[in-house]
Amino acid sequence: MNSIVIMGVAGCGKSSLGAVVARAIGLPLVEGDDHHSASNREKMQSGVPLTDADRDGWLTTLCEQLRAHPHGVVMTCSALKRAYRERLRQAAPGLGFVFMDIARAQAQRRVAARAHAHIFPTTLVDSQFATLESPVGEPGVLRVDALAPLPQLQTEVTTWLTHKEPA
């Protein structure tokens, strides 16, 4: 497995974990949020949930990013639906996913705490949970407790990556 996606709902800690894992394993980090279109950003900032159609171009761009890093990359992406994950897997065979599992109340608190510095409002957290199709049980998925300390999560992920069979 050359590349992994750190995934989950808003507020789970994708960016924080992605940064420490990328640094630990020496791969570039691609922040999924950085690749949203201006119209998607406007929708989210207005509290309007994104649709599959809204996410289509974004997922195309993220697939291009995966293909542009054949030696591996750590990507952060909500990847809420299985169809989105399958699309990403097609772009990078053997792609692994780290599912940052978090309860709705905790995600709400985290999103509220960063509201001043992030495009995603707390009003959209419910829509994220409504859209989420758990990846647990899919091949190449590691579920982690999003509330665990960051150093523990980084160790869990890097250990999983070194001991995982190639997909």
Question: Using one digit for the tens of pLDDT, what is the confidence trace for 28-82?
Answer: 999 988 777 677 777 777 777 777 888 898 899 999 999 999 999 999 999 999 9
Whole-model pTM?
0.89
CA atoms lying within 13 Å on the CB side of residue 124: 22
Specify whether the CB–CB gap between 115 and 122 falls below 8 A.
yes
pLDDT in tens, 80-109: 999 999 999 999 999 999 999 999 999 988
Distance, CA of 48 to CA of 41 (rounded, Å): 10
Give the domain ranges of the chain. Answer: 4-163
CATH of 4-163 among 3.40.50.300, 3.40.50.280, 3.40.50.1370, 3.40.50.720: 3.40.50.300
Distance, CA of 47 to CA of 85 (rounded, Å): 24
138 or 125, higher pLDDT: 138
Alpha helices in the chain (DSSP H): 14-25, 38-45, 52-67, 82-91, 104-113, 125-131, 150-163
